[in-house]
Structure 1
Amino acid sequence: MTEYYEPTEDRKFAKVYKEQTPDILKAWGDFNGAVFADEGREIPRKYRELIALAVALTTQCAYCIESHAKAATSAGATEGELAEAAWVASALRAGGAFAHGRMAFKLAGAGQHTH
């Protein structure tokens, strides 16, 4: 998917949202603004941005990776913290594969035969 990633060029397509669903776009913008507000949240912005970066790495959204890496850095995150967020995302992805592997064994009938 990242071969289609062209942030500057892609911004012009936001007009479709503006023209077709302006009410939803506004609601989403307001929601996103509240989630990432500088003040008024229990979790400091730097940590919310690091959480968002880890989620973006997990979902592999190039746009979100870029915006939340930059936002985390501007909120004070260090390269070490960015690296740890990436490792957290990696651990969760690996954990998901491990856990779902057990489901594959179950669905395949593994472990039901004794030797």
Structure 2
Amino acid sequence: MTTHGHYHDVLNDLNPQHRDLRQMIPDVYRGFGEMSNAAFASGAMDKKYKELIAMVIGVVAGCDGCIASHARGAARAGASKQEAAEAIGVSILMHGGPATIYGARAYTAFCEFADAAAGDAQ
């Protein structure tokens, strides 16, 4: 059995909030979903790199929900811990001290989802 951690809880806590708002503005969420599907579709760049980019934008924005969502997406898309760490390193270069805090959170989140995926695969 896989043990889920903090970043699984972050996503679980946000789900009912998203559901409530989505019921009020379904067209906005539908449009956002379509844009998300288009943006993350593999093309010249694989989905894993797009998810890593989104994760480090979450680092720069200081958004734990974004970090959790895209850390999970990157892990599911096959990104390695080293790839996640190096992407986070770029966010630290570009954003400085605050990125060292949210970057550490993002790496923890990525490892949580990667380890859960590895445990589920066994």
User: TM-score per shorter chain, which class?
Assistant: 0.5 to 0.7
**Could you report, residue by residue, the CA deviation over 1:9-51 in whole angstroms, capped at 9, with x for unpaired residues?**
33112233223211111101111111112x4x22111111111
Higher helix share: 2
Q: Which residue of 1 aligns with 2:101?
A: none
After superposition, the Cα gap between the structure-2 partners of 1:9 and 1:67, relative to the gap in structure 1 and judged at 3 Å, is closer
- Mapped partners of 1:58, 1:7: distance in 2: 19
Q: Which residue of 2 aligns with 1:70?
A: 72
After superposition, the Cα gap between the structure-2 partners of 1:43 and 1:20, relative to the gap in structure 1 and judged at 3 Å, is same
Segments of 4+ in structure 1 off by > 4 A? none
Task: Give unmatched runs, 5+ long, in structure 2.
Answer: 1-8, 97-122
Q: How many residues align?
A: 89
Which TM-score applies when normalising by structure 1? Answer: 0.68
Q: Among residues 37, 48, 63, which one is paired with 1:33 in the alignment?
A: 37
Which amino acid is the alignment partner of residue 70 of structure 2? H
**Could you report, residue by residue, the CA deviation over 1:75-115 in whole angstroms, capped at 9, with x for unpaired residues?**
12111111111111111102xxxxxxxxxxxxxxxxxxxxx
Which amino acid is the alignment partner of residue 20 of structure 1? M
Show the 5 A alignment for 1:32-71: 32-37=36-41, 39=42, 41-71=43-73
After superposition, the Cα gap between the structure-2 partners of 1:43 and 1:12, relative to the gap in structure 1 and judged at 3 Å, is same
Task: Give unmatched runs, 5+ long, in structure 1.
Answer: 95-115
Q: CA RMSD in A?
A: 1.9
- Mapped partners of 1:12, 1:91: distance in 2: 35
Show the 5 A alignment for 1:1-115: 6-37=10-41, 39=42, 41-94=43-96
Sequence identity percentage: 31
- Mapped partners of 1:19, 1:70: distance in 2: 25
Which TM-score applies when normalising by structure 2? Answer: 0.64
